[in-house]
């Protein structure tokens, strides 16, 4: 319910708080229709993946990243499975020196803990201690590195169906021809439109979908060998090599940096 929650109206009051934080969970999938807020919004899942649409792009965002949306940017979101997450709403006046474009940010431990503490605040003006923590959250939004790890989805409905199936099960072994048959599209069209609509070949897109899932599994503490085999790699070394080429470090080093 968090990503589609209506923005708190008291953020617009002259003496209203600079931020409002909400956190929660739902057992069914989250589906948020296209909408926009007069305030800024930072939101993320605590478990699982989110698909987030912004302007002409759709990102698949793992739980170790958050989405920042400046005021008045139209967006929608959906979870892949049950949803648990949080959302920070930022008064429009406080967004002037925050990122001016929608982006994904790598969540720091400091940001996550500050947000979860602020989620327990009662609505209304902030006391001195709360105001200081609110500034910490805003500082983290300002300085955290933007990491464009989102995965663009194709626009063709047939390809969207295939892409979503791969997101749900990145280890699915079917090849391009088998996916084309399943999606009722020719192999040539599937191959050509994946490049045109996502910027990746079908094979590269599927590899990226697997890597996105691996980030979530690393954050959850799964062993590297388990991740490799669960995602369909023949060996752990094949997974480690692709991960290093993509992210510039091994999975173990990435997890340690988290």
- pLDDT per position as a tens digit, 209-247: 898 888 878 877 899 999 999 999 989 999 999 999 987
Predicted pLDDT at 208: 87
Q: Is the pLDDT of residue 14 over 50?
A: yes
pLDDT for the residue numbered 1: 44
Say if 2 falls within a structural domain. no
200 vs 258: which has the higher pLDDT: 200
Q: At what angle do helices 128-143 and 109-118 cross, to 10 degrees?
A: 140
pLDDT at 3 over 50: no
Q: Is residue 41 in a domain?
A: yes
Give the separation between CA 220 and CA 207, rounded to whole angstroms.
20
Rounded CA gap, 258 and 253, in Å?
9
Q: Is residue 152 part of a domain?
A: no
Q: Are 75 and 45 in contact (CB under 8 A)?
A: no
216 vs 84: CA distance, rounded Å:
14
Confidence of residue 142 (pLDDT cuts 50, 70, 90): very high
Residue 149 forms part of a structural domain: no
Q: What's the mean pLDDT in 56-71?
A: 84
pLDDT of 5? 52
pLDDT band at 97 (very low <50, low <70, confident <90, very high): very high
> What is the overall mean pLDDT for the chain?
88
Q: Could you tell me if 179 and 253 lie in one domain?
A: yes
Which residue, of 96, 117, 143, is where some domain finishes?
143
Last residue of a domain, one of 121, 143, 165: 143
Supply the pTM of this predicted model: 0.72
Query: Is 17 part of a structural domain of the chain?
Result: yes
Residues 90 and 180 in one domain: no
Same domain, 97 and 35: yes
Looking at residue 135, its pLDDT comes to 97
Residues 18 and 117 in one domain: yes
93/161 same-domain check: no
State the pLDDT confidence band at 29, using cuts at 50, 70 and 90.
confident
Which of 77, 110, 143 terminates a domain? The answer is: 143
| 204-239: burial string, b at 16+ Cβ within 10 Å, e else | ebbbbbbbbbbbbbbbeebebeebbebbebeebeeb
CATH code: domain of residue 81: 2.60.120.280
Q: Residue 104 pLDDT > 80, yes or no?
A: yes
Q: Which domain holds residue 117?
A: 9-143
Q: What is the CATH number of the domain that holds 241?
A: 1.10.10.60
Same domain? 173 vs 246: yes
The pLDDT, as a whole number, for residue 57 is: 72
Query: In the chain, how many domains are there?
Result: 2
């Amino acid at each position: 319910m968090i990503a589609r929650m209506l923005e708190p109206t008291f953020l617009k009051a002259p003496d209203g708080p600079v931020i409002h934080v909400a956190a929660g969970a739902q057992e069914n999938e989250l589906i948020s229709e296209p909408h926009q807020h007069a305030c800024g919004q930072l939101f993320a899942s605590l478990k699982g993946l989110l698909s987030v649409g912004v302007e002409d792009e759709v990102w698949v965002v793992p739980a170790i990243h958050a989405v920042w949306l400046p005021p008045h940017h139209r967006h929608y979101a959906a979870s892949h499975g049950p949803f648990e997450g949080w959302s920070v709403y930022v008064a429009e006046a406080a967004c002037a020196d925050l990122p001016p474009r929608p982006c994904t940010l790598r969540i720091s431990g400091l940001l996550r803990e500050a947000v979860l503490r602020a989620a327990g605040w009662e609505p209304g003006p902030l006391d001195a201690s709360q105001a200081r923590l609110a500034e910490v959250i805003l500082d983290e939004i300002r300085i955290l590195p933007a990491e464009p790890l989102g995965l663009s989805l194709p626009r063709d409905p047939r390809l969207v169906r295939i892409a979503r199936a791969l997101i749900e099960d990145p280890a699915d072994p079917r090849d391009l021809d088998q996916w084309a048959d399943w999606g009722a599209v020719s192999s040539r069209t599937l191959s050509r439109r994946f490049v045109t609509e996502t910027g990746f070949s079908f094979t590269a897109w599927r590899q990226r979908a697997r890597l996105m899932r691996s980030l979530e599994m690393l954050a959850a503490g799964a062993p590297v060998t388990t991740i490799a085999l669960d995602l369909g790699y023949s060996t752990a070394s094949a997974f480690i090599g692709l991960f290093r080429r993509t992210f510039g470090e091994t999975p173990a080093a990435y997890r340690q940096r988290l």
